[in-house]
Amino acid sequence: MGSLPLDDALFSLNPDTFAEESTAVVDFLARYYRDIERYPVMAPDAKPGSIRKVFPDAAPETGESMDRILDDVQRDVLPGLTHWQSPSFFAYFQANPSGAGFAGEMLSAGLNVVPFMWKASAVATELEQVVVDWMAGLLGLPELFCFAGGGGGVLHGSTCEAVTHATFQKGARIVGIPPANFRVLHIMAESGYGLSADTVRAAVEEDVARGLVPLYLCATVGTPGLGAIDPVRVGTTGLGAIDPVRELGQVARCYGMWLHIDAAYAGSAAICPEFRCHLDGAELADSVSMNPHKWFLTNMDCCCLWVADPTALTSALSTDPEYLKNVGSGGDVSTIDYKDWQIALSRRFRAIKLWVVLRRYGAAAMRNYIRRHVRMAEWNFSLVCFRLRQRLGIDDDAVDGLNRQLLAAVNASGREFMTHFVMDSKFVIRLAVGGAMTEMRHVRDVWELLKDKANELVGGS
């Protein structure tokens, strides 16, 4: 009995067709990057639900050509995109791609191995150990986070997937910690909106007095900003803050709490010696994370998580069903099965992507890349937060209203895209400089547009 017949298209890894269709996609993307400044940064006319009407209600019964599909991407997908790679995208934190990141992603997708354990792809596991050690070295992390120092790292898809950021709150709920026991502490202007050790100590002492057990403290090494219009000292992810790692580490040690350093965005800057001071005290932490997919030219997705004591992860997360045993690896207890360092089983070969980025660009060029953005923002790191200043006779609510209108007007222009945050009940505009294609002329352009729109608003108020 022979195999059932298959459509030609389903011999999908036929080397000739594969090369031809993949080349068409690469050419499409190259054209996209060439023309990217022609697109409005954020789809100006998109209304919720309006876009999906363009697409058929059901999947096609017969396959279509890649050319036709790419035509539809051009016609139906690009107009609804928020162009994250536009050089005038100043929103959130950027997701930096690069030629090398794309090449690494292609290799990862093309090889498509699933290295949940050593045996499932030995080189993927060991290359992951190599690149996380390389990254720890570049960031100047203490030796204790490297494999040789007794710690080690793992690559996740995102900080949240590593359950160290927004998902920590969800994780706490899943393990039965009541939401009320999850403390979000108030940060103040006097401490630059960083989390002060005194605030944490006071909260912990209050909890201990109530019979609670302090477990986990997250310090954020973010990106402070100072505005050019009306400076507002800033903090948290929305505004970016640098928490005093050493002082928080001392409090955490004192009460036996796990200290995590979340350096998702700004961690990349630590490859430059002048920014390493923000990680001072990292030796007091139990874990550290940063995202190469934000500011390190590594296409989505890639997050490095280091722990000082890997058994803290493996004792909680390892599973050992018969079908996942490393038969043949000689029973070496030092063999790493990354499934035991994460919640999910399946995982991607992200190491090859980060490895390609590091090899293709090298540390010196990456340092220049970071410094270039910092210089463009004219600030420590590259996030600037600001608001229109209060004028005599205008109350806080009216100033907030003006700032909201200013942001809406700038974004509606399609020329730029920025986001906002609310701090101390004040609405502030965030300008995150860090796009892979952003040049000084784009930063000047957003500044000119802001001034024009602000003049129109204030003139008309």
In the complex, the residues that contact ligand PLP under the rule CB under 6 A are 93, 158-160, 165, 220, 222, 237, 262, 264-265, 291, 303
Q: Closer to ligand PLP at the Cβ: 93 or 369?
A: 93
Instruction: Count the helices and strands in the chain (H runs, E runs).
Output: 13, 8
Query: Coil, strand, or helix at residue 219?
Result: strand
Q: Closer to ligand PLP at the Cβ: 196 or 289?
A: 289
Least Å distance between CB 288 and ligand PLP?
12
Least Å distance between CB 237 and ligand PLP?
4
Cis previous bond, 301, omega within 30: yes
Distance CA 421, CA 429 (A): 6
Q: Which residues of 407-426 are buried (b: 16+ CB within 10 A; e: fewer)?
A: bebbbebbbbbbebbebeeb
Least Å distance between CB 382 and ligand PLP?
13
DSSP symbols for 365-429: HHHHHHHHHHHHHTSSSSEEEE-PPP-TT--HHHHHHHHHHHHHHHHHTSS-B-EEEEETTEEEE
Q: Closer to ligand PLP at the Cβ: 166 or 202?
A: 166
Cα distances (angstroms) measured from residue 453 to each of 127, 225, 305 = 50, 22, 42
Q: Closer to ligand PLP at the Cβ: 288 or 376?
A: 288
Residue whose structure tokens are 């952003």: 438
Which H or E run includes 91? Answer: none
Q: Closer to ligand PLP at the Cβ: 163 or 313?
A: 163
Distance CA 176, CA 198 (A): 28
Least Å distance between CB 275 and ligand PLP?
15
For residue 148, the Cα-to-chain-centroid distance in whole angstroms is: 27
Q: Closer to ligand PLP at the Cβ: 93 or 427?
A: 93
Residue whose structure tokens are 């001392």: 250
Burial of residue 343 (CB within 10 Å: 0-12, 13-18, 19+) is middle
Q: Which residues of 43-70 are buried (b: 16+ CB within 10 A; e: fewer)?
A: beeeeeeeeeeeeeeeeeeeeeebeeeb
Q: Closer to ligand PLP at the Cβ: 158 or 403?
A: 158
Which residue's Cβ lies closest to ligand PLP? 158
Least Å distance between CB 161 and ligand PLP?
7
Residue whose structure tokens are 């222009």: 413
Six-digit token pair at 287? Answer: 């874990």
Q: Closer to ligand PLP at the Cβ: 433 or 454?
A: 433
Q: Closer to ligand PLP at the Cβ: 165 or 347?
A: 165
DSSP tag of 123: H
Distance CA 6, CA 270 (A): 53
Alpha helices of 210-349 — where are they, by DSSP H?
Answer: 236-239, 245-255, 292-295, 310-317
Least Å distance between CB 158 and ligand PLP?
3
Least Å distance between CB 285 and ligand PLP?
15
Least Å distance between CB 156 and ligand PLP?
8
Q: Closer to ligand PLP at the Cβ: 264 or 271?
A: 264
User: HSE of 26 in the Cβ direction (CA atoms, 13 Å)?
Assistant: 12
Least Å distance between CB 218 and ligand PLP?
9
Least Å distance between CB 91 and ligand PLP?
11
